[in-house]
Amino acid sequence: MNARRRTASLGLTLAAAVAATAAPPRPDAGGDSARRAATEANRFAAALFGELAATAKDNLVVSPFSIHACMSMVAAGAAGDTERQMVQALALPPDRTARHAALAALRTRMDAVGAKGDLTLEVANRVWAQKSHPLLPAFVTDIESVFGAGFAPADFAGQADRERGVINAWVEEKTHDRIKELIQPGLLGPDTRMVLVNAVYFYGTWQTPFSKDRTEAAPFHAAPGRDIEVDLMQAHLEHLGYHEEPGLQVCELPYKGREVSMVVLLPASGRLGALETRLAREGLDAVAGRLRPRTVNVALPRFRIEAQFGLNDPLIALGMRDAFNPGRADFSGMTGTRDLFVSAVVHKAFIEVNEKGTEAAAATAAVMRLTAMPVAEEPAVFRADRPFLFVLRDRASGSILFLGRVAAPSRT
């Protein structure tokens, strides 16, 4: 299945979603640089998920990878305290050269995964800039070389709603029509000056698919006294990554080619909130980093989740204060003057899991305006019939592509 790409807009607007990009400047596919970059980016992912999980109810899906890529593009044009705050929140190297090398290595790794052909993983970046608002050549060069993003002239000053349609159409294409209307009416206006977009699309079949003949209707214990009927997929699977400790089971389900996997974290009944807090504080590796090969009897519900967020408040809570403040924002690395601030960051994500595999897509936009191995033993039983968390990650680098919560799956 081919992926499509999509973009979002900024007042200077930035957006992130999954789709393919050109090869970055430094080849380091699967290497140490990509692993180090992913480890740092996952700190941001865990912290952001903590902010979203604290306020979002029921089911939740987000692409930390998309948001990180989008905001890293914004940070490429930041200076002074604005740059320092953004770099710290995104867990990026303070040195600009090292930062760009790390981001390029991570993008190379994602391109390499998608190029193998076992699954579809595409990442796309694009920037729309007000045609009458010149950008510094150094900023343009960085965005093109590090992020593989092309630039398109836009007329936000005169036809903002038309440009919104152009951006949304691009996002829909790059995400195979899974992300629609990323940029809502009214988000762009005459004072919008740039839109940076990152789009992400993933489609993968399980290494060992579930048989539809074994899927059955079963209760899902969503909350005490509240059961809902779901379609529960079942399989006896060997050589799965598995970990169990008091109050928590973790199971890793690989996709074809074993480059990407879904890690399912199943807490004891009533312990989902505690697990989310622990994940935000300790990170995924600390919670799920002790997997070992095991034969597992897996039961997992089919589910489909769509979610959208405004990210201004969560990003401010993570430390990006000045970027959103017209009086303090310093994006002079973009235009040479302190005339821009981030007015809005929006994100949409989609995931569907069934017997065959998983499809997921996401897009993020930031709007900037003028300042204006196995052991012989009994199979483990992993029955996800109560709320759980899931993570889609690149196994070599550890990069978290999608992260979410299944609180009450609807039947698909």
Mean pLDDT of the 178-200 span: 95
Tell me what pLDDT residue 32 has: 82
135 pLDDT exceeds 50? Answer: yes
411 pLDDT exceeds 90? Answer: no
Q: How confident is the model at residue 27 (pLDDT cuts 50, 70, 90)?
A: very low
Helices (H) and strands (E) in the chain, counts: 10, 16
Tell me what pLDDT residue 25 has: 35
| Exposed/middle/buried for residue 186 (C-beta within 10 Å: 0-12, 13-18, 19+) | exposed
Instruction: Report residue 256 as tokens.
Output: 């074809």
Strand partners, 296: 237, 380
133 pLDDT exceeds 50? Answer: yes
Contact (Cβ atoms closer than 8 angstroms) between residue 197 and residue 125: yes
Tell me what pLDDT residue 412 has: 65
Q: How confident is the model at residue 376 (pLDDT cuts 50, 70, 90)?
A: low
Instruction: Report residue 211 as tokens.
Output: 């048989």
Write the CA distances from 174 to 124, 167, 201, 248, 293, integer angstroms.
7, 11, 7, 37, 36
Predicted confidence (pLDDT) per residue in 312-365, tens digit: 999 999 999 999 999 999 999 999 999 999 999 999 999 999 999 999 999 999
Q: Residue written as tokens 């991570």?
A: 106
Predicted confidence (pLDDT) per residue in 236-289, tens digit: 999 999 999 999 999 999 999 999 999 999 999 999 999 999 999 999 989 987
DSSP secondary structure of 269-302: TT-HHHHHHHHHHH-HHHHH---EEEEEEEEEE-
pTM for the full model?
0.90
Instruction: Report residue 265 as tokens.
Output: 């974290």
Contact (Cβ atoms closer than 8 angstroms) between residue 220 and residue 145: no
Amino acid at 303: F
Q: Which of 277, 250, 284, 287 is nearest to 266 (CA)?
A: 250
The 3-state DSSP class for residue 372 equals coil
4 pLDDT exceeds 50? Answer: no
Distance CA 139, CA 132 (A): 16
- 52: Cβ contacts below 8 Å, ≥ 6 apart: 60, 62, 309, 314
Q: How confident is the model at residue 173 (pLDDT cuts 50, 70, 90)?
A: very high
- 102: Cβ contacts below 8 Å, ≥ 6 apart: 33, 36, 37, 40, 92, 93
Q: How confident is the model at residue 371 (pLDDT cuts 50, 70, 90)?
A: confident
Predicted confidence (pLDDT) per residue in 389-402, tens digit: 999 999 999 999 99
Delineate the domains of the chain, giving CATH numbers in brackets. Answer: 12-206+304-370 (3.30.497.10), 212-302+375-406 (2.30.39.10)
Mean pLDDT of the 147-175 span: 96
Tell me what pLDDT residue 346 has: 96
Q: What is the mean pLDDT of the chain?
A: 90
Distance CA 314, CA 291 (A): 31
Phi, psi angles (nearest 5°) of residue 11: -65, -45
Amino acid at 91: A
Mean pLDDT of the 178-182 span: 97
Q: Which of 87, 3, 68 is nearest to 403 (CA)?
A: 68
Indicate the angle between helix axes 64-75 and 137-147, nearest 10 degrees. 160
Phi, psi angles (nearest 5°) of residue 330: -125, 95
Q: How confident is the model at residue 2 (pLDDT cuts 50, 70, 90)?
A: very low
- 186: Cβ contacts below 8 Å, ≥ 6 apart: none
The pairing of strands 400-406 and 388-394 is antiparallel
Phi, psi angles (nearest 5°) of residue 113: -60, -45
Distance CA 170, CA 166 (A): 6
DSSP secondary structure of 293-342: EEEEEEEEE-EEEEEEEE-HHHHHHTT-TGGG-TTT---HHHHSSS-EEE
Q: How confident is the model at residue 124 (pLDDT cuts 50, 70, 90)?
A: very high
